[in-house]
Amino acid sequence: MRGNLRPKHAAIVIALSSLLLLLPATGARASLVESGSTLGGATAPTAPVLSDTICSAGCVALRRATVGGSLQVTGRNLGLVTVATFPGREGRIRVTVKPGSDSSVTVPVPPGARSGRILVGDAFGNRSKPSPPVTIESRSVLKTSGPLELTGAETVPRRAYFFGVKRPRLAFVVNGARPVNDLRIDVVNSAGEIVRSYFRAGVPRNTTQSIRWDGRTSAGGPAPGGKYSFRVSARSGERARLNRKLVSRGRQSQATVATNPLGFELYGYAFPVLSRVSWGDGIGAGRNHQGQDLMAACGTPVVAARGGKVVYKGDLSGAAGNYIVISGKASGYDFAYMHLLRPVRFRVGDTIRTGQVIGRVGSTGRSSACHLHFEMWTAPGLYKGGSPISPAQLMRRWYRQ
C-alpha cells in the first residue's frame, strides 16, 4: 500500500506531518511519543531539548537579533529538527530549519517575528519546550561598518586549561571603512558552533584590543576540552577577514591547533607530573591503595590537575607524607597529591589554578621510591562521605593531550 503512494498523496502526507509540529501534544499523539511506541517499526526519537538561544548573525547583542538574521539554538536531540516557530502578531510564525548537529542548529529569523521564546520540532511530531527568551528587532537598528580586516592577531597560550594559570587571550588589530566599529568576538568550537560571545562597541580602527575567555559557555558551565578559535565580526555578523600576511604566517606555523592565529586548545584537566612517568600501582593494589602511583624522579614539578580551593594539607609521616587536597572547580571531585618532597606552602582556603605548580615529587611518608600518589574522590569529597574512584583512564587521556 505504502509503495503505491502517488506523488500527490505523498505531498498531502508530508503537509499533514508538518502541521502536527504546531499542534499541542495531546491525545493519541502525545501518548504515542511519551510511551516510546514505534512508528512503522522504528522507535520515535527523543524530543528536542533547548538549553540556550543566542544570536549568530544580524545581532544587536548576544540575545538581541534582527529580522533576516539567525539564531544558534543549543541543547540535545537537535539533529532531526526541521522547523521552528516564532511569536508573531497573529500567532506563531513557522520557518524551515536546515539540519544541524545533535547539540546545535541554526534558525533563521523570519519577517514578522516578535520577541519571545521559540519552539523547534522534528519530522516525527516531537517538539521542544520553549527556549530562553530572545529579543527580535528591525534590521534598521544595525549600523553597517563596511568590510573589516584583521591586520594583527595573536592568541596565547595555544594550549590552555579551564580555571587555568593563563586564560586564552586574543590580542588583535582591526581595520575598516569606519573610524570606529561595533564588534562581536565569538569563541567557536571545532564544529563551528558558538560557545561564548562578547560585544565591544565603539572600537577605534588600527588600535590593539584584547579579549580573554574564562573557559565557560554562554550557559555558564565549563566548555568541553578540544580545539577552539576566536572569531571577530562586525556586530551585523559580517566576519573580519585575515590580512594576507596573517594567513601566510598561520600556514607556516607548526602549532598543533588550527593554522590561523586565532586558534587554540582548551582542556579541563592537566596531567599532574611535568615529565615522563612510569605507571605504578593503581586503585585496589593492596594496603588500602585508593589512587594511582606515578613514578618520576624526586624533585619533578607537580601541578594541579584541576584548580580549586585547598581543603586539606599536612604531613602524615606514617602514610601520605607531605600532601595537599584540592576541591576541583566545577568538577564535583576532590584531588589528593601525596608523598610530596616538601611541606606545601599553601594554606587551607587558598585558590589554586589548573596547571599551577603545587609541589615536587618526593618519597615522604610510607614510600619506598620517588613517586606521586594521586587520588580522586567523588562529592561530597575526601573525609566527607565521598568515595575514591580509579583515575587511571582519565589520567592516561590527560597524558596524551
* Whether pLDDT at 250 is above 80: no
Residue 291 has pLDDT above 60, yes or no: yes
pLDDT at position 259, please? Answer: 65
255-269 pLDDT tens trace: 334 468 999 999 999
Residue 27 clears pLDDT 90, i.e. is over it: no
Confidence of residue 286 (pLDDT cuts 50, 70, 90): low
SS (H, E, C) 44-76: CCCCCEEEEEEEEEEEEECCEEEEEEEEEEEEE
* For range 134-142, the mean pLDDT: 90
Confidence (pTM):
0.76
**pLDDT surpasses 50 at 22:** no
Tell whether the model's pLDDT for residue 20 goes beyond 60. Answer: no
User: What's the pLDDT tens digit per position in 108-121?
Assistant: 999 999 999 999 99
Cα dihedral across residues 318, 321, 327, 333: positive or negative: negative
Q: What is the spatial distance between Cα 203 and Cα 196, in angstroms, rounded to a whole number? A: 20
Domains along the sequence of the chain with CATH? 2-141 (2.60.40.10), 148-267 (2.60.40.4070), 278-400 (2.70.70.10)
> What's the pLDDT at 249?
57
- Supply the pLDDT for residue 248: 60
Listed in sequence order, the DSSP H helices in 125-164 are none
Per-residue pLDDT at 294? 97
Please give the sequence-ordered ranges of beta strands (E in DSSP) within 271-332, or none if there are none. Answer: 278-279, 292-295, 301-303, 308-316, 321-328
Q: What is the pLDDT of residue 30?
A: 32
**pLDDT value, residue 379:** 96
Beta-carbon count within 10 A of 260 CB: 20
* Spatial separation of the C-alpha atoms in residues 34 and 127, rounded to whole Å: 12
Pure H helices in 306-366: none
pLDDT tens digits, 345-370: 999 999 999 999 999 999 999 999 99
What band does 176 get if pLDDT is binned at 50, 70 and 90? confident
Section 38-47 average pLDDT: 63
3-state DSSP helix/strand/coil percent for the chain, to nearest 5? Answer: 10, 45, 45
